[in-house]
Each structure stands twice: as structure tokens, then as C-alpha cells.
Amino acid sequence: MGIAIVTGASSGLGKEFVYQIASKEKNISEIWVIARREERLKELADSIHIPVQVLPIDLIKRENIDYFMQYLKTRNPQVNVLVNAAGFGRIGSYKDINLLDSDNMIDLNCRAAVDMTVAVLPYMKRKSRILEICSTSAFQPFQYLNVYAATKAFLYRYSRALRIELLPRGIHVTAVCPYWIRDTEFISKAKHSKDGKEIKNFIFASKVKNVVSMALADSRIGLPVSTPGPICFVHRIVAKFIPHEIMMWLWELIRRL
């Protein structure tokens, strides 16, 4: 038996991963939940039937990664599952999103995910699994979701290459690339910019339970990429054959609907 570590666990995908790991993963005896909002983490811990270790850590701050690495060294856990779900986005043009938000997106969505992965890997063994929560936006450039999409493209490429590097150790890495998810805080928070209405609709958005269930199933069978829903699956295939310039003009039409 080992532990699972879930970042971004106070809401959205991260929170749902905690619920489903607790109920579906048979080799997990404890879950470590990481996010900034301690009260939400405590509420989550109280609702889970297996032990939960609450770690109220802001991963944007580099010194907190050092703290977590020291915590790992002290506890010396066997980590069976790592889910890097911490992240956020902003909708708007380059002039609408402030520099701090852009910097924090890069730090949290890219650097923190890499830091957490590298920190945890020494405590993983054969058949351990890593789920890096990317996005269907990783498959092409997205105007008015530019920085967020670029960070997810980085994480997607990182995940794909890391999977090959870890094959000799038997550790599986899955890049999870969902479409919009309607029942999380992501969309409402992403629109908190000067011009969050640049994207006018989120048609065919998925539900968080379905996304997490499919992502965990794909991870269990060792898929390198999980596209948990029909829209993101089609997007992934189409983006392989249609030039990005055309894809961006198609997006220009879709986002205005």
C-alpha cells in the first residue's frame, strides 16, 4: 500500500481526483492533499474515508517546494499516484491580462508541476503513476487564451517526453487533456480579466466526474494521453492534420458564437 498526492485539491478536478482515488484505487492507504485554501482541504479530509494529510501549500512560491521536498525526506513515503492538478487560466488578450497573472500561470502551470514531479519521483517505484493535468488547449495555439494554452502545451510536451524517460523504471505518465468543464470554478475564474468575454460560450462542456473517471481509467492502462471526452478526442486528432493557422481561424469563429 502507498499514498497518493494530489495538488490543486481544494476544488475542481483536484478535489474530484481525491474523491475518486479514495473510492477506486485499491492500493492507496493515504492521500496527501495540497492547495492554498486550508479550510477547504480540511473539509475535504473530513469527507474521505481513508486518512488524508492536509498540506496548505502555495506552489507558486518556490520556497514551498523546498519545504515539501524536506517533508518528503522526513516521511519517506511510497508514492503510488501523483496528480498535478494545480493550475489556473485567464481569458483575454495580451493587454487585458496583467503581468502578475501571466507570471503566476507560468509558475503554477509549468514550473510547479515540474518541481512537484521531480520532487516526488525518488519516492515512486515500478507501476507508480503520474497524471499531469494538461488541456485540449495544448493541441494548438489559442488567441485570447494564449498564455494558459501555452503553459498547457509545455506541460503536454514535458509529460510525453518524461514518459519515455521513465519507461526503464516502469513508472507511467499520462497527460490528461480535457475540454471545458462546466461544473468547476475554472471558467468563472478564467473570465476574471478586463475582457473575459472574448470567449462567449463553452458549448458541449464536460462534467468533472466523467473527466476524472476517464482519466484514472486511462492512467491505469498506461495510456500516454487521456482525452476524456468526445470533443477533446476529436480536437487531438484534427490538430494533427490541419495546420495551426487554419485551426486558429476556426477558433476565431467558434469563440464568437
pLDDT digits (tens, 9 = 90+) for 72-98: 999 999 999 999 999 999 999 999 999
pLDDT tens over the chain, length 257 residues: 899 999 999 999 999 999 999 999 989 999 999 999 999 999 999 999 999 999 999 999 999 999 999 999 999 999 999 999 999 999 999 999 999 999 999 999 999 999 999 999 999 999 999 999 999 999 999 999 999 999 999 999 999 999 999 999 999 999 999 999 988 888 888 776 555 567 877 777 889 999 999 999 999 999 999 999 999 999 999 999 999 999 999 988 888 77
Amino acid 205: pLDDT: 86
Count Cβ atoms below 10 Å from residue 161 Cβ, excluding itself. Answer: 11
- Residue found by looking up cell 485567464 in the block: 90
Give domain 2-254's CATH architecture. 3-Layer(aba) Sandwich (3.40)
DSSP structural state of residue 206: B
> What is the pLDDT, as a whole number, of residue 201?
72
Q: State the pTM of this model.
A: 0.94
Cα separation, 83 vs 25, in Å, equals: 13
Q: From start to end of 44-198, where are the E strands?
A: 52-56, 79-84, 129-133, 172-176
All three cell numbers of 200, joined, read: 462567449
Helix residue spans in 29-135 (DSSP H): 38-46, 62-75, 99-106, 113-120
Q: Are 72 and 66 in contact (CB under 8 A)?
A: no
pLDDT in tens, 113-138: 999 999 999 999 999 999 999 999 99
Q: Give the per-residue pLDDT at 159.
A: 98
> What pLDDT does 196 receive?
54
Burial of 166 (0-12, 13-18, 19+ CB in 10 A): middle
Structure confidence at residue 192 (pLDDT): 61
CA distance 100 to 102: 5
The mean of the pLDDT values for the chain is: 94
Residue 55: which residues within 8 A CB-CB, separation 6 or more?
A: 32, 33, 34, 41, 68, 71
Dihedral angle, C-alpha 220, 159, 182, 142, nearest 10 °:
-150
Domain boundaries, the chain: 2-254
- CA terminus-to-terminus distance, the chain: 49
